[in-house]
């Protein structure tokens, strides 16, 4: 049975299309099956356009994504602290946790998620049980519009949210049961949370926007330096030496903006045609002069949308590796008509 869960303090929330297996520890038959047939289960859920993973993998991947500044040992220690939040969900059976939307919206108190209890009957093969569950989850997720992969510059993507829109209940073969759930916090922590909420409400009443409140938090996030090697590879040494991979043309655009921390208006890209072409040729010395010229001409043409598309793809390359609250500092951003720039302090850019 699919049940609706309204958690108040989950550290991370599954993205659209992601299904997380959470064990209760009391159903060894199911746990052993997941362990021994993990690749098969991934294939079964992939047939339904779903991404299956265990809770341990989900937490570890989330920590790497949302806290890239932690080293491997710190990340593992923190992951152990977070696992109990999910295991505190009141259920007798193992569950599959998923979300019906990847977009986060303001004005809703808590994220709404769904869980499928795995009530494995002794007489039914687990392969059949998981196949049925995968189809049931697919039916629910496919009823909702898939979130757009590219987000507007003034919106944050579906990463670490405070809130989300509620999913509608459905009638029919799948029954729902609503459960309000909140992991237990100690008295001091509950008092601190209440004080923070009170202060946030006070700031909102004084006209401080949600975006400004997020910036207050995001500004405290540790940023990594960015290192450009002699062979033009892009590394973030303070994020476990994470590499950002970009095709040569996107690298040329990115390097141009790194070299111009003051920013460049898109309509003035034509003024940087020759500089951009030199950078591109240094990245791709064998590529055909005429073809390179055409690519750069399209990028610097004021009537072309090419530069917008390239900046969006650069942003996706960073957002695919770590949280947008951090990634936005490395992307090419700016308001329409104003200079577009990379927010990262130029002193953080290391050229070999």
Domain count across the chain:
3
User: Does 128 lie in the same domain as 81?
Assistant: yes
User: Does 161 lie in the same domain as 80?
Assistant: yes
Mean pLDDT of all residues belonging to the chain: 78
Residues 55-112: tens digit of each pLDDT:
989 888 888 888 888 887 887 777 777 777 777 777 778 889 888 765 433 333 445 6
User: Does 230 lie in the same domain as 115?
Assistant: no
User: Does 264 lie in the same domain as 204?
Assistant: no
pLDDT of residue 75: 78
The position carrying tokens 């958690």 is 7
CA distances from 280 to 129, 254, 275 (A): 53, 11, 9
User: Does 192 lie in the same domain as 179?
Assistant: no
Phi, psi of 297, rounded to the nearest 5 degrees: -60, -40
Give the predicted TM-score (pTM) of the model: 0.66
Residue-number span of the structural domain to which 78 is assigned? 2-183
Nearest-5° angle of CA 120, CA 125, CA 130? Answer: 65
User: Does 256 lie in the same domain as 343?
Assistant: yes
Phi, psi of 168, rounded to the nearest 5 degrees: -75, 150
**Nearest one of 178, 210, 199 to 7, comparing CA atoms:** 178
Classify residue 14 by burial, with Cβ atoms within 10 Å: 0-12, 13-18, 19+.
Answer: buried
User: Does 159 lie in the same domain as 60?
Assistant: yes
User: Does 162 lie in the same domain as 28?
Assistant: yes
CB atoms within 10 A of CB 248: 17
Residues 262-289: tens digit of each pLDDT:
999 999 999 999 999 999 999 987 766 8
User: Across the strands, what pairs with 114?
Assistant: 4, 98
Alpha helices in 47-101 (DSSP H): 55-66, 72-87
Of residues 8 and 194, more confidence is placed in: 194
Residues 13-63: tens digit of each pLDDT:
788 889 999 988 888 999 999 999 999 999 999 999 999 999 989 888 888
Classify the C-alpha dihedral 343-346-347-352 as positive or negative.
Answer: positive
User: Does 98 lie in the same domain as 17?
Assistant: yes
Instruction: Out of 57-66, 97-106, 132-141, 237-246, pick the least confident.
Output: 97-106
Which of these three, 165, 199, 218, is where a domain ends?
218
């Amino acid at each position: 049975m699919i049940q609706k869960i309204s958690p108040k303090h989950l550290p991370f929330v599954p993205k659209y299309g992601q299904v997380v297996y959470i064990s209760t520890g009391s159903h060894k038959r199911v746990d052993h099956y997941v362990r021994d047939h993990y690749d098969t289960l991934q294939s079964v859920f992939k047939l339904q356009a779903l991404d299956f993973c265990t809770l341990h993998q989900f937490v570890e991947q989330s920590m790497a994504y949302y806290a890239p500044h932690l080293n491997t040992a710190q990340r593992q220690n923190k992951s152990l602290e977070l696992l109990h939040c999910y295991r505190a969900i009141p259920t007798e059976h193992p569950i599959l946790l998923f979300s019906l939307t990847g977009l986060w919206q303001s004005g809703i108190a808590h994220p709404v998620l769904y869980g499928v209890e795995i009530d494995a009957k002794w007489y039914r093969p687990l392969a059949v049980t998981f196949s049925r569950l995968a189809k049931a989850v697919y039916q629910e997720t496919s009823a909702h519009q898939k979130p757009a992969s590219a987000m507007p510059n003034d919106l944050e993507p579906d990463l670490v949210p405070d809130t989300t829109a509620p999913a509608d209940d459905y009638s029919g073969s799948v029954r729902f049961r609503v459960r309000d759930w909140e992991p237990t916090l100690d008295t001091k922590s509950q008092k601190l949370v209440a004080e923070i909420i009170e202060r946030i409400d006070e700031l909102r009443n004084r006209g401080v926007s949600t975006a400004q409140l997020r910036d207050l938090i995001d500004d405290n996030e540790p940023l990594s330096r960015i290192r450009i090697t002699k062979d033009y590879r892009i590394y973030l040494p303070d994020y476990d030496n994470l590499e950002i991979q970009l095709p040569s043309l996107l690298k040329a655009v990115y390097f141009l903006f790194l070299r111009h921390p003051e920013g460049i208006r898109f309509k003035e890209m034509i003024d940087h045609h020759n500089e951009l072409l030199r950078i591109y040729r240094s990245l791709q010395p064998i590529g055909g002069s005429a073809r390179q010229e055409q690519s750069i001409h399209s990028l610097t043409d004021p009537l072309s949308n090419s530069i917008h598309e390239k900046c969006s793809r650069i942003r996706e390359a960073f957002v695919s590796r770590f949280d947008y609250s951090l990634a936005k500092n490395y992307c090419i951003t700016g308001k329409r008509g104003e200079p577009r720039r990379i927010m990262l302090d130029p002193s953080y850019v290391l050229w070999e």
